[in-house]
A and B are shown apart, each in its own frame.
Chain A
Amino acid sequence: MEMVVVAPPAPGRLEDLKRRFFATPLQALLSLISLTIMALIVWKLLDWAVFSAVFTTTGGPEACQAAAGACWSVIAARWRIILFGLYPFEEQWRSALACVSVVIMTVLSCMPAFWTGRRIALVWGAGTGLYYVLMKGGVLGLPYVGEEAWGGLALTLFIFVTTCLIGFPLAICLALLRRSDLPWISRTTGLIIDGVRSLPLISILFMFAVVLPFALPQWLQGDKLYRVILGSALFFSAYQAEIVRGGMQGVPAGQEEAAMALGMSYWQRIGRILLPQAMRNALPATINQFVISFKETSLVVIVGFFEILASGNAAYGTGEWRFAYVEVYAFIAFIYFVFVFSLSRYGAYLERRMAVGER
């Protein structure tokens, strides 16, 4: 980063640098302060994470604790529990493959070629189905593994994907109901959406995980995991519904009137005229909502799930690695960062691309 500045200046380059960073005394001061902060952080980080760090497991925790820098051995020793949780050791390749299938599905759905309702539904259905079969087993000679043994990154991805898969259609339904001409339908739906939005996600997860079993008949209770996913999908859909509604408001009224004049039925108007244009308007905000909800899957740790954050806590929580919490959290933060950052960069790219189309 600061390489631009310290690189040996070619003739003429110096003038350029002077103009860019040292034009006035105030500018020079700002540049110097920023440069010092940057150099300090970069140097300290590099020293801690690379130069003085321990990478191998040979020395064991004691040798690692004595080192001045980071102790990456804890990752080498515990990466399996962080990524896969309590999933049976010999079957963990399935968990890894399931994660890969979700990633491929996400990448595919980022390609414009898959942006028709049918194709995107197909990709997500197939990806989630593949994930489910791989994780749960019981068919094709794969041993059965119950949901209570799922954990780590695989569980985080599962909760995220199913939240979107249930929440997205629900959001479209809620948005359509809210803009209905019938006053009672739109008012009631508005009440539901605003009610859900005014509550914190944690309280909704808590209600679905802990309180709901009291209020449901026995046959409807289901597994705690699926109840929590439903809660998180409801929360996602309340926010997403407002985004979709915003997108619908951006479609000129003439479009729908023209469709009506052509004699199209309600579902034809919605499915072929309104939604395609509304989704296009809502795309950047939608990606942003996906990013937020990916980060928020981490909250299920509070209602007792063994997702990546909880498995990270467990990875350093036991005796000998107690001191290595920074390394474990850095590792998990890095995993989150890779997913979230690439998704949000993609969102920013889409926004630019669409802005070009509208100019």
Chain B
Amino acid sequence: MVSLLRNQKVRNALLQALYVGSLAAMVLACVMIARRNLAEQGITSGFDFLFKSTGWDVNFSLLPATANDPYWWFFLIGIVNTLFLGATGLILATIVGTIVGLARTSSNELAQLLGRTYVDIFRNIPLILQVFFWYAVITHLPTPRAAHEAFGMLLTSRGLYVPVPNVGGIAFAAAILAVIAAIALPLWLGRTSHLGQPFGERVGIQLTAAATALATAAVILALGRLPDLPLLDFPALQGLNLKGGMRIPPEFSALAIAIAIYGGSYIAEIVRGGFKAVGKGQMEAALSLGLSPWRVFTLVRLPLALRAMLPILANQYVWLMKATTMGIAVGFTDFFMIVALTINHSGQTLEAIGILMSGFLAINLSLAAVFNRINKAIALKGNQLRG
């Protein structure tokens, strides 16, 4: 027995079994105790509860929701809300971050100072404090009767009312797709692999593509328009309430603004780092080849900087996606809040935790997969051995 313990292989195997075994035993014990405690409260384990109706309501949902809907539908609503908030926040944060990051890398010292001040201030204040702040600002706006008006939008304490086109849902989605195509097509057509064509010809093709896509969008909108209504539905005061337009609830706008500002300060630093990573020689070489400053930027500096910043940007996006869980602080029904409400109302604790973990795992993994794909697509081909 003692001689067996002296054997390195046996000892290693024992050590590993002990480590993994004790961890597994701890988890198992926790699950057993939890199941016993829950059973005492009359809660049966299993995923049957997913098909029961919830009996409570959500305050924000892109999908139709009533208190009679089953739990699985509510989880879906939560995931869609999280993705929607995440996507809005990421896009806004990327816009803010790009502007600030470009200001920080510009040759103008005043713009640099402005960018640095922005980053220093907003990076050093916790996100949740900023969420609370914007939520307080929005809920302290005047009541609908005394609403601020700007560009046809109404700013009230009950939310932001924006005009929406009177167009059928499917036609509207199709029009949005066409507009996205109008932005993406020229970019796709302008890839470096098309560099063989003369510059003027390429710009012509790009412009034609964009114009065609935009025209398609306009045609779709005109065809899908609801009869007998004006094209744009403006919000207006009717009695004590606001009619028309679309309401963006204060919870959503507070979170989106806070994520845009806070995330923007981090993305600005990533953008700056990416541009700093581009060697000076590359730009000098491009300039000496006679390229204009704009083409040096779009053909040399930007692609190289993008390659350098993309992996870090992917991490930041995953982080910002997880930050949407702060919705619970102001009562935005994101995925995590639905899970928390489920635990409170149904008591199906273990199942809800399992769903929470797999939900975030799925979100993280799919974001990582998307970014790996992009990373592979834009990586420098051929000379990967430089290491």
Contact = CB atoms under 8 A, between A and B. Distances in A.
Interface string A31-71: 10011011000000000000000000000000000000000
B120 A341 contact: yes
Given A295-B127, A301-B329, A329-B129, A211 B343 contact: yes
Nearest to B140: A325
B107 A27 contact: yes
A335 to B, nearest CB: 10
A241 B294 CA distance: 44
Interface string B126-144: 1111001100110010000
A309 B128 contact: yes
B111 A30 contact: yes
B33 A215 contact: yes
Interface string A250-277: 0000000000000000000000000000
Contacts of B349: 211, 214
A185 B15 contact: yes
B110 A34 contact: yes
Contacts of A299: 128, 326
A213 to B, nearest CB: 9
A109 interface: no
Interface in B97-126: 103, 106-111, 113-114, 117, 120-121, 123-126
A30 B108 contact: yes
A126 interface: no
Main secondary structure of the interface of B (DSSP, over half): helix
Contacts of B136: 325-326, 329
Interface stretch (B235-243, B272-280, B282-290, B354-362): B354-362
Nearest to B336: A203
B12 interface: yes
A76 interface: no
Contacts of B110: 2, 5, 21, 30-31, 34-35, 38
B322 interface: yes
A214 to B, nearest CB: 5
A323 interface: yes
B20 interface: yes
Interface stretch (A7-15, A143-151, A194-202): A194-202
A77 interface: no
Given A21-B110, A27-B108, A216-B30, A182 B12 contact: yes
A337 B109 CA distance: 24
Given A30-B111, A185-B19, A217-B33, A337 B124 contact: yes
Contacts of B38: 214
A73 B363 CA distance: 46
B117 to A, nearest CB: 8
A336 B128 CA distance: 12
Interface string A99-141: 0000000000000000000000000000000000000000000
Interface string B340-368: 10010000010001001100110010000
B323 interface: yes
B126 A215 contact: no
B34 interface: yes
Nearest to B106: A30
Contact of A298 (B15, B114, B128, B356): B128
Nearest to A341: B124
Nearest to B37: A214
A202 B322 CA distance: 9
Nearest to B114: A34
A47 to B, nearest CB: 18
Contacts of B114: 34, 37-38
Contact of B340 (A182, A206, A323): A206
A329 B133 contact: yes
A188 B360 CA distance: 20
Contact of B129 (A1, A298, A302): A298
B328 A215 contact: no
Contacts of B329: 301-302
B23 interface: yes
Given A27-B108, A182-B15, A336 B129 contact: yes
Given A34-B111, A211-B353, A296 B12 contact: no
B108 A333 contact: no
A200 B129 contact: no
A302 B123 CA distance: 21
A182 B17 CA distance: 11
A133 B200 CA distance: 76
A87 to B, nearest CB: 21
A34 B364 CA distance: 38
A92 interface: no
Contacts of A200: 322-323, 325, 336, 360
A207 interface: yes
B108 A336 contact: no
Contacts of B340: 206, 210
Given A30-B106, A182-B12, A211-B349, A309 B129 contact: yes
A22 to B, nearest CB: 10
A297 to B, nearest CB: 8
Contacts of B33: 214-217
A198 B361 contact: yes
A203 B356 contact: yes
B241 to A, nearest CB: 24
B109 A20 contact: yes
A200 B117 CA distance: 29
A332 interface: yes
Interface string B70-102: 000000000000000000000000000000000
A55 to B, nearest CB: 22
A203 B360 contact: yes
Nearest to B321: A200
A197 B107 CA distance: 38
Nearest to A32: B110
Contact of B124 (A20, A38, A206, A340): A340
Contacts of B113: 1, 34, 38
Given A182-B16, A329-B132, 5 more contacts: A31-B110, A38-B114, A182-B12, A199-B356, A296-B126
22 contacts: A5-B110, A30-B106, A30-B108, A38-B113, A185-B19, A199-B356, A199-B357, A200-B325, A201-B322, A203-B360, A207-B353, A210-B343, A211-B343, A214-B37, A216-B30, A295-B127, A298-B128, A309-B128, A325-B133, A332-B129, A333-B133, A337-B125
**What are the 5 tightest A-B residue pairs by CB atom distance, in nearest-first order?**
A34-B110, A200-B322, A215-B30, A215-B34, A184-B16
